[in-house]
Amino acid sequence: MRLSADPTTDTVLKLVTVVVAMFAFVFVVMVPLYNVLCDALGINGKTSAQAYVAAPAAVDTERSVTVQFIATNNDSMPWEFRPQVTSMAVHPGAANDTVFFAANPTMQHMVAQAIPSVSPARAAEYFHKTECFCFNQQPLEGQSDTLMPLQFIVDQDLPKDIKTITLSYTLFDVTDRVSERIASR
């Protein structure tokens, strides 16, 4: 296909198209593709950001898996943040409940966002959260605290060699982000 009668102009127009396409490729292909791949393959320890709809399945009472909880604050996040229980033994297929404690020791209203990560990364796709405080941002007035719920199911198909799963949450301060959004409205 010729874009111009002049061969040089034709070459240049085609190459400019490639340049524009590659620039667009980064934004509209690479970024979404990366997230889709991480979600679909459960790589990078990423768990789904949506609530899992539990399929009815038998609870495998023969097997027991240890689930450990870790809570970390990002950078300068001043909140107190910890799991109520640090470890629990669960049966694959059974729904389990636990809570995380968070307290805002500052005098200001703040908003936090928890980002989960599962280790070993291979276990991420077998770890289903039916309810999680990480699905939403958590606002908290200054000098107050709260209990944040988590409900999860470990899949029956979890590979047999995985006996311990670690669920780690990092708490980020997103107050500025949220207030900017409100201010821009």
Indicate the burial class of 129 (C-beta count within 10 angstroms; 0-12, 13-18, 19 or more).
buried
Binding residues for another protein, rule CB under 8 A, total 38
Which of residues 7 and 56 has its CB atom nearest to another protein in the complex?
7
CB of 70 vs another protein, minimal distance in Å: 15
Residue selected from 2, 4, 31, 142 as contacting another protein according to rule CB under 8 A: 31
Phi, psi dihedral angles at 105 (to 5 degrees): -80, -10
Residues in 52-111 that interact with another protein by CB under 8 A: 74-75
Q: What is the C-alpha to C-alpha distance for residues 168 and 127, in angstroms, rounded to an integer?
A: 12
For the record, the structure tokens of 27 come out as 């934004």
Residue 26: what residue type? V
Residue selected from 35, 86, 87, 143 as contacting another protein according to rule CB under 8 A: 35
Element (H, E) at 38: helix 31-41
Say if residues 117 and 172 touch (Cβ distance below 8 Å).
no
Residue ranges in contact with another protein by CB under 8 A: 7-8, 11-12, 15-16, 18-20, 22-23, 25-27, 30-31, 34-35, 38, 41, 43-46, 49, 74-75, 113, 115, 121-122, 170, 172-174, 177, 180-181
